[in-house]
A and B are shown apart, each in its own frame.
Chain A
Amino acid sequence: MNAPAGKPSARTLDPLDRLVVVATQAGLPLSPRPYLSVAEQIGSTEEEVLARVRRMLADGVIRRIGAVPNHYALGYRANGMSVWDVPDARAGELGRRVGALAFVTHCYRRPRHPPLWPYNLFAMVHGKSRDEVEEKVREIAALLGPDDIGHDVLYSTRVLKKTGLRIADKEEKPCSA
């Protein structure tokens, strides 16, 4: 259950939406009626919380509700950020084709910063080993053919911080890590 395609248009969350976000962003309660637990916590009703969650899911504020695997625990120890220099005029079409590959978990077009950073397409590739990641990167290169002007793969060597994005429960500082 993913967000609808197209350009995100932000919408303003009202105070009750924000309470639902704050109560569930670290996780949904693991109780038989989790939305009742949330409702009790924020002083609302189960029906109201369910209605808010349905609406946020429908308009893409919630991408999906479910399990987020720890990719290291699943054996995906090699995580390669593959970066590509492709012709700007073709970046949209090529991005869609790369993004559709099953082993690409995120794919974005981002600005170049030449000469230090010539790449404009990012595709995150997860594999059980670096060899597996390299094999998948070769598949992307084959798909791009002559549109692959240059590419590189950056492996993460250390997690320096991982708190995730959080909105705070204070109105004056609504988004802190």
Chain B
Amino acid sequence: MDALDRRIVNGLQGGLPVAARPYAEAAAKLGVSEAELIERLQRLLDERTLSRFGPMYDAERMGGALTLAAMAVPDDRFEEVAGIVNGFAEVAHNYARSHPLNMWFVVGAAERGRIGEVLAEIEAATGLPVLDLPKQEEFFLDLRLEA
């Protein structure tokens, strides 16, 4: 990453203008050409410096539901249980974490009711309790990291 890459990553986290030629407008602010900005964004994606470029949708405002769930999985069953949990299409992310509750995953579905069903199905398939930790309040959400 050179200095211009950093300016692009930092400058474009906040918002691309909604316009017919958004890259041209953003490029003008960054002092580069539209073609160079597009080429750099493609390279930053290819190199996986950026994981995505585009609209960030809010599943809940689209009428969907989400929860964060946690399980305490015995070490000797970890891979088996990860396979069961990951097998649900509704499981969007799943992380191993350093804690007795060592498996943390996000469940998303079109309807709230489906979330409860998925958690119950995971409990039935694994024989392990699942903690349901839906967000009750959101204080700030702005995933901006300085490059």
Contacts and interface: CB of A to CB of B under 8 A. Distances in A.
B144 A105 contact: yes
Given A62-B56, A113-B131, A156 B51 contact: no
Given A68-B50, A108-B135, A165-B92, A33 B141 contact: no
Contact of B133 (A35, A53, A111, A158): A111
Interface residues of B, number: 83
Nearest to B140: A99
Contacts of B47: 73
A67 B18 contact: no
Contact of A31 (B13, B15, B38): B38
Contact of A161 (B86, B131, B138): B86
Interface string B23-58: 110000000001000100110110111111111111
B145 A1 contact: no
B77 interface: no
A76 B147 CA distance: 9
Contacts of A9: 61
Given A66-B12, A68-B143, A113-B131, A61 B48 contact: no
Contact of B62 (A61, A152, A154, A157): A61
B128 interface: no
A27 B42 CA distance: 11
Contact of A25 (B13, B23, B49, B57): B57
A80 to B, nearest CB: 10
Q: Is the interface of A mostly helix, strand, loop or mixed?
A: mixed
Given A8-B58, A158-B95, A161-B91, A74 B147 contact: yes
A101 B147 CA distance: 18
B137 A91 contact: yes
Contact of A1 (B15, B41, B141): B15
B147 A69 contact: yes
Contacts of A13: 62-63
Given A25-B55, A60-B61, A73-B47, A33 B21 contact: yes
A28 B86 contact: no
B2 to A, nearest CB: 14
B14 A99 contact: no
10 cross-chain pairs, A with B, having the tightest CB-CB distances, nearest first: A99-B139, A99-B140, A1-B15, A28-B54, A160-B94, A161-B94, A158-B96, A175-B110, A109-B137, A107-B139
22 contacts: A10-B62, A10-B63, A11-B61, A26-B52, A60-B58, A62-B58, A65-B15, A67-B12, A69-B9, A74-B147, A105-B145, A107-B139, A109-B139, A110-B133, A116-B101, A158-B95, A159-B93, A159-B95, A161-B85, A162-B93, A174-B110, A175-B90
